[in-house]
Amino acid sequence: EDQVTQSPEALRLQEGESSSLNCSYTVSGLRGLFWYRQDPGKGPEFLFTLYSAGEEKEKERLKATLTKKESFLHITAPKPEDSATYLCAYTNTGNQFYFGTGTSLTVIP
Amino acid sequence: DGGITQSPKYLFRKEGQNVTLSCEQNLNHDAMYWYRQDPGQGLRLIYYSQIVNDFQKGDIAEGYSVSREKKESFPLTVTSAQKNPTAFYLCASSASGTAFYGYTFGSGTRLTVV
């Protein structure tokens, strides 16, 4: 069964303490792996799309990478405003997304 | 600015009532989707529509209904048959009838049964 698993469920970091969030997947025919940021009470905001193993994308303090079995969201020198839930999702048909349960990140000043 | 507007932001439903959640987009996207989000669970697909006057059931369609009479609008009705409707509901859209390039989400409606 296709699925995506995110870890850890929750992560607390001191401001400036770099870390990584993991998204592992068992999907046949993966066409895209997506990262979203969701703030409390709001809809998810698109961050990155990764299409093939070895691909990397960066945006400010965030860097997403993709291997054949997992994706990482690296957060370098995080700030309190990076606190949010980070969701990963995949598509194999191009018509629907399947979401993980998310990692709740808290960055402490 | 283009985007997706969901209303209301908060909605309260009494037992046995049907309620309708609004979703409007001005992105000229073909496809629209409804997801339900519960604590500790990933987003689950309720219904989706790739073109006007056509829609398909998602993984948890029981107790819900939709319509797609206009490209811009995709309202979701939570019927009395949905026994556990308290959740955060998200509407999304994508271009060209495929999610390959990513969804745009609305800001959500929080539905509570009272």
Q: pLDDT by residue (tens digit) across B65-103?
A: 999 999 999 999 999 888 899 999 999 998 865 556 688
Specify the pLDDT at position B83: 86
* pLDDT over 90 (residue B114): no
What end-to-end distance do the CA atoms of chain B give, in Å? 35
Specify the pLDDT at position B41: 83
* pLDDT over 90 (residue A96): no
Tokens read off for A42: 């709001």
Average pLDDT, chain B: 91
Q: What percentage of chain B has pLDDT greater than the value 90?
A: 73
The pLDDT tens digits for A59-94 are 999 999 999 899 999 999 999 999 999 999 988 776
Specify the pLDDT at position B1: 64
Q: How far apart are CA B34 and CA B91, in angstroms?
A: 5
Nearest in space to A64 (alpha carbons), one of A97, A30, A36: A36
List the single residue in B with minimal CA-CA distance to A104: B40
Chain A CB within 8 Å of residue B50 CB: yes
Give the pairing of strands B10-13 and B109-113: parallel
* pLDDT over 60 (residue A32): yes
Specify the pLDDT at position B98: 59
- Which of B38, B45, B94, B100 is the best substitution to test chain A (most A C-beta atoms within 10 A)? B100
**Residues in B touching A92 (Cβ below 8 Å):** none
Distance from the B100 Cα atom to the nearest Cα atom in chain A, whole angstroms: 5
Average pLDDT, chain A: 92
User: Is A49 within 8 Å of B101 when comparing Cβ atoms?
Assistant: yes
Radius of gyration of chain A (CA): 13
User: Is B42 within 8 Å of A87 when comparing Cβ atoms?
Assistant: yes
* pLDDT over 90 (residue B15): no
A31, A92 Cβ separation under 8 angstroms:
yes
**Residues in A touching B102 (Cβ below 8 Å):** 34, 46, 49
Specify the pLDDT at position A21: 98
What's the rounded mean pLDDT across residues A8-23? 97
User: Is B43 within 8 Å of A87 when comparing Cβ atoms?
Assistant: yes
User: Is B99 within 8 Å of A91 when comparing Cβ atoms?
Assistant: yes
Q: How far apart are CA A105 and CA A109, in angstroms?
A: 13
Chain A CB within 8 Å of residue B56 CB: no
Residues 6+ away with beta carbon under 8 Å from B45: A96, B33, B34, B35, B58, B59, B60
In degrees, rounded to 5, the angle at the alpha carbon of residue A73 between the alpha carbons of residues A37 and A106 is: 55
* pLDDT over 70 (residue B113): yes
Tokens read off for A15: 């401001």
**Residues in B touching A31 (Cβ below 8 Å):** 100
Residues 6+ away with beta carbon under 8 Å from B79: B18, B63, B64, B65
User: Is B100 within 8 Å of A32 when comparing Cβ atoms?
Assistant: yes
B103, B33 Cβ separation under 8 angstroms:
yes
* pLDDT over 70 (residue B36): yes
Choose the weakest-confidence range: A18-32, A36-50, B87-101: B87-101
Specify the pLDDT at position B103: 87
Specify the pLDDT at position A85: 97
